[in-house]
Structure 1
């Protein structure tokens, strides 16, 4: 059962990463078009709005796969002198804390999206509804929280971290 949940979590992380990749491609195209347009005297109308919303997709879309691949920045100044059990406890606490933080981000983004829908909030220039992007943050944060919680469960059960199992 846990293996199926792990597989689902991995697939969801990949889908979120694909969304983040598409956001990055879109962001690149917007910036290139805007730079050339500014040079020619016709900048892209709404480029600031498109850039800020694309960044939301890039950042939150890539977060879950980054965690699964152990891509976060780690400062391990004292880790070499810690016993193995303390490193494992630290990994478990970090995974649980990350899961809680991303669950709280999802909760807060859900409230913000609800408020955005209620007030019809939109971006400043081209008036794209903000709620769509806030709901994306909710979904991506839940996927990330699920992956982090699964990592904690596997570590508590004595298993290898998720990234080590997927490399094998």
Structure 2
């Protein structure tokens, strides 16, 4: 189980690295665009780059957010529930999250196939949309696998990686 967790943490780290690189790139694009607008020459295609980069940024950080327990949680009743029920709720929410992200991955993958077939591209720079959509599908699968592994670990070992140091 430790080897699988180590591999999953590396994939989650890679996903977060992709999101971080997108954040740095987007910061540069926005800076150049804002300064360019002030000088009367905005960056051509910045809207295309920002739109695609923001999608990769959000989905790149999603697996790390789940790994660290960063998702919103309402725990009003958690102190009143027995530990077994709280664990069952955590397992169910992890499985539901994994199913949602797998559905997102499937939908975006189907959209990427359509984009490739129709040769769809961004408005200004004519960048192919399918590449970014495949990236989103892959990042969604990483998030889903992380959630699925969390559910398995909670079921088998009772250990919650979100609460581990």
**Which TM-score band (shorter chain)?**
over 0.9
Match of 1:108 in 2: 107
Give the CA deviation at 1:158. 3.4
Structure 1, unpaired ranges of 5+: none
Structure 2 partner of 1:63:
62
Shift of 1:154: 0.8
Alpha-carbon distance in 2 for matches of 1:163, 1:10: 12
1:140 aligns with 2:110: no
Q: In the aligned structure 2, how far is the partner of 1:54 from the partner of 1:69? A: 23
Is structure 2 residue 81 aligned with structure 1 residue 88?
A: no
Aligned residue pairs, count: 165
Distance (whole Å) between structure 2 residues aligned to residue 13 and residue 161 of structure 1:
16
Greater Cα shift, 63-72 or 154-163 = 154-163
1:72 alignment partner, SS class: coil
Partner of 1:155: 154
| Separation (CA, whole Å) in 2 of partners of 1:140 and 1:3 | 22
Q: Secondary structure at the match of 1:160?
A: coil
**Superposition TM-score, scaled by structure 1 size:** 0.95
Distance 2:89 2:70 in 1: 17
* Root mean square deviation, CA, Å: 1.0
Tell me what 1:29 maps to: 28
